[in-house]
Amino acid sequence: MKNCNVALIGQKFMGRAHSNAYGQVKRFFNLPIQPALHTIVGRNAKELAAFAARWGYVNKTTSLHEAVMDEAVDLVDIATPNHVHAEPALLALSAGKHVACEKPLAGTLEDARSMRNAARKSRGKTFVWFNYRRCPAVALAHRLVKEKRLGRIYHVRAQYLQSWGGPQTPMLWRFNKKEAGSGAHGDLNAHIVDMARFITGDEITEVNGAIRKTFVKERKDLATGKMKRSSVDDCVLFLASFKQGAVGSFEATRLAHGNHNANKIEINGEKGSLRFNFEDMNWLEFCDASDGAREGGFRRIMCTSAGNHPYAENWWPDAHILGYEHGFTNMAADIMRAIAGRKPEVPLPDFDDAYQTQRVLEAALVSARNRCSIKLQEIR
Ligand SMILES: NC(=O)c1ccc[n+]([C@@H]2O[C@H](COP(=O)([O-])OP(=O)(O)OC[C@H]3O[C@@H](n4cnc5c(N)ncnc54)[C@H](O)[C@@H]3O)[C@@H](O)[C@H]2O)c1
């Protein structure tokens, strides 16, 4: 079986999630090609050695250029802060390599556009880690909408609520606009905008109003002990209109105590509703309006049944539930299938697709700044 040699850039949170996915995927999926952990790239040589040994990377380097241009590397995987997405992506695409990039596609629309344009010209394939698409419950929601079980869609109600970003949280790259681009918005709204577009199969054509707020203005810089200005939003809320007529609301915050990783979406259509909350990720709630008033209401579907639910046959017997890491492993499987020219189990977002999400994020920021509606046509 042919290997797909991976060079992974970034070795912390997402570096671990991706490495775990590449390691596990060959044990659970039958695939036309398998990922091989070829090179790990990071900034700290000492940490790199430990990371390479723990996860099984053959090579390690602090030179992004060296790793990306290595002829043996087939797939460049980018798991660095948002301002370090464009440079390795452009380099890899110019060398005709495949690229998997973390979300948001970039910190700025300009970077994202240059990545989208480079992807269009390259023979390399591109992928963006919108991993929540690959929770079986979310993939089932996508299938039910495609099968017209909801009929015409009226409402999309999406929230991504976390609680770790209070004043006690020190200065991190995530609070620095130059590195992150935005705060909760690019971090969390990126996921729910992608999820809304993915499940509905529809596009947002207008942002009808938005609020952007920074509550915690300064954070402690652990390196110096001094307070530093936080230059990103703590929350962004916006309203949106979809091409086929639905209306949507989106909210992202890291200041919602009691919500740990509440990535939630509800969709209401003429024939029924769907509801998902990542904190309960194995379940999709579905209301079929034809059940009638006597027995109608949301039913809870545990999405673990082989043959019935996406990816389920690759994992455990029915009802032996999945966790966070399985979404990444499911995605690694689909990336391998796509590179081998096969169809992924669930559609994969490429740079073009992620650029559409980035345009929506930008429209919301412009709307908040100018206090007006923004048509997506205005955001190119
Ligand atoms: N898909 C998801 O659900 C999800 C979750 C968290 C983060 N992310 C995204 O993943 C990316 C990374 O986030 P994270 O949480 O892993 O961050 P992190 O801070 O945990 O790790 C970032 C890594 O990048 C390395 N790095 C920074 N600058 C570098 C450079 N110039 N060259 C080489 N390495 C460099 C750091 O040393 C570190 O290893 C971001 O784009 C973030 O938005 C996605």
DSSP 8-state class, residue 175? G
Question: What's the pLDDT score for residue 359?
Answer: 98
User: How far, in Å, CA of 360 to CA of 189, rounded?
Assistant: 10
Please work out whether the CB of residue 78 comes within 6 Å of at least one atom of ligand 1.
no
Closest CA to 199 of 128, 248, 129: 248
Domain extents for the chain?
2-131, 133-318+351-370
Beta carbon of 48 within 6 Å of any ligand 1 atom: no
For residue 86, the CA-to-ligand 1 centroid distance in Å is: 13
Pairwise CA distance, residues 306 & 216, whole Å: 46
Using a 6 Å cutoff on CB, does residue 65 contact ligand 1? Answer: no
What residue ranges of the chain have pLDDT lower than 70?
1
DSSP class of residue 348 equals: P
d(CA 6, CA 3): 9
Ligand 1 neighbour 111 (Cβ under 6 A):
no
Does ligand 1 have an atom closer than 6 angstroms to the CB of 324? no
Residue with tokens 């559609």: 347
Q: Of 80, 263, 328, which is best to mutate to test ligand 1, by the most ligand atoms within 8 angstroms of its C-beta?
A: 80
CATH architecture of 133-318+351-370: 2-Layer Sandwich (3.30)
Strand duo 75-78 + 2-9: pairing:
parallel
Q: Is the CB of 165 under 6 A from ligand 1?
A: no
Of ligand 1's atoms, which has the minimum distance to the CA of residue 62? 33
- Testing ligand 1's pocket by substitution, the residue of 8, 11, 14, 84 carrying the most ligand atoms inside 8 A of its CB is 14
Ligand 1 nearest-atom number relative to CA 82: 41
User: From ligand 1's centre to the CA of 12, what distance in Å?
Assistant: 6
E strands, 143-298, in order: 153-161, 204-213, 218-220, 227-229, 235-242, 247-253, 262-269, 272-277, 283-288
At 336 the pLDDT is 98
Please give the Cα distance from 121 to 125 (Å, whole number): 10
242's tokens: 């979809």
pLDDT tens digits for range 145-168 = 999 999 999 999 999 999 999 999
Please answer whether residues 5 and 73 qualify as being in contact, where contact means their C-beta atoms are separated by less than 8 angstroms.
yes
Compute the distance between CA of residue 375 and CA of residue 311 in angstroms, rounded to an integer: 37
Query: Does ligand 1 come within 6 angstroms of the Cβ of 181?
Result: no
Name the class of domain 2-131: alpha beta
